[in-house]
């Protein structure tokens, strides 16, 4: 019996978790729950040309979003050929990983969740200060939805990044 706590179900499965929203201390702790569903993306690897430069950039750019946990993974601890990884995360999860290699800026667009328009503005400002190129100043993206507020930058390798606040998801 699951009791009185809300239940999170997973699309296309019979799996369900009992959740206690009161256990979340901050709004960012709730970030992984959207409309009663758990976000399905677990992690992303991004290949960068200069891993140290990218660590410095992402440390600055992601901090306003509460993504402040860092973890390094030594590839020799994994299966043969596993790359060294430099991870970023929050709330007990590492979900954004960098690895050294040949960057292909056309290979990825990464959207990071913000909890407010202010977080979008702060992340955009931090990214620009850390060396990003503007790819769309903060503002409503009316072509998607009037409540879709975002800012877009290109990281030092040219990857397209978006900091996005969708008010209906909070």
Chain segment 146-166, per-residue pLDDT in tens: 999 999 999 999 999 999 999
The pair of structure tokens assigned to 141 is 């993206």
Residue of 56, 48, 161 lying closest to 97 (CA atoms): 48
Please tell me whether residue 133 adopts helix, strand or coil conformation: strand
Q: Are strands 109-113 and 160-166 parallel, antiparallel or unpaired?
A: parallel
Q: What is the pLDDT of residue 29?
A: 44
Is residue 90 within 8 Å of residue 69, measured between CB atoms?
yes
The pair of structure tokens assigned to 25 is 């201390």
DSSP 157: T
Q: What is the pLDDT of residue 40?
A: 63
Mean per-residue pLDDT of the chain: 83
Q: What is the pLDDT of residue 39?
A: 57
Q: What is the pLDDT of residue 23?
A: 41
Is the pLDDT assigned to residue 141 strictly greater than 70? yes
Is residue 55 within 8 Å of residue 98, measured between CB atoms?
yes
Is the pLDDT assigned to residue 66 strictly greater than 60? yes
Chain segment 1-59, per-residue pLDDT in tens: 333 333 333 334 344 333 444 443 444 444 444 445 455 678 999 999 999 999 999 99
Q: Which domains does the chain have, with CATH numbers?
A: 44-169 (3.10.180.10)
Prediction pTM value: 0.77
The pair of structure tokens assigned to 41 is 């993306």
């Amino acid at each position: 019996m699951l009791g009185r706590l809300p239940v999170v179900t997973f699309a296309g499965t019979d799996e369900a978790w009992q959740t206690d929203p009161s256990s979340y201390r901050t709004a960012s702790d709730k970030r992984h729950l959207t409309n009663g569903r758990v976000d399905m993306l677990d992690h992303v690897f991004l290949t960068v040309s200069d891993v140290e430069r990218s660590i410095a950039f992402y440390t600055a750019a992601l901090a306003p979003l509460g993504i402040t946990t860092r973890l390094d993974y030594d590839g020799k601890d994994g299966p043969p050929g596993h790359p060294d990884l430099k991870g970023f995360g929050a709330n007990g999860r590492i979900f954004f990983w960098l690895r050294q290699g040949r960057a292909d800026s056309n290979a990825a667009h990464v959207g990071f969740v913000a909890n407010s328009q202010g977080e979008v503005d702060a992340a955009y400002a931090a990214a620009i200060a850390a060396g990003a190129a503007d790819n769309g100043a903060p503002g409503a993206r009316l072509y998607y939805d009037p409540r879709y507020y975002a800012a877009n930058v290109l990281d030092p390798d040219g990857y397209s990044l978006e900091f996005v606040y969708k008010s209906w998801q909070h």
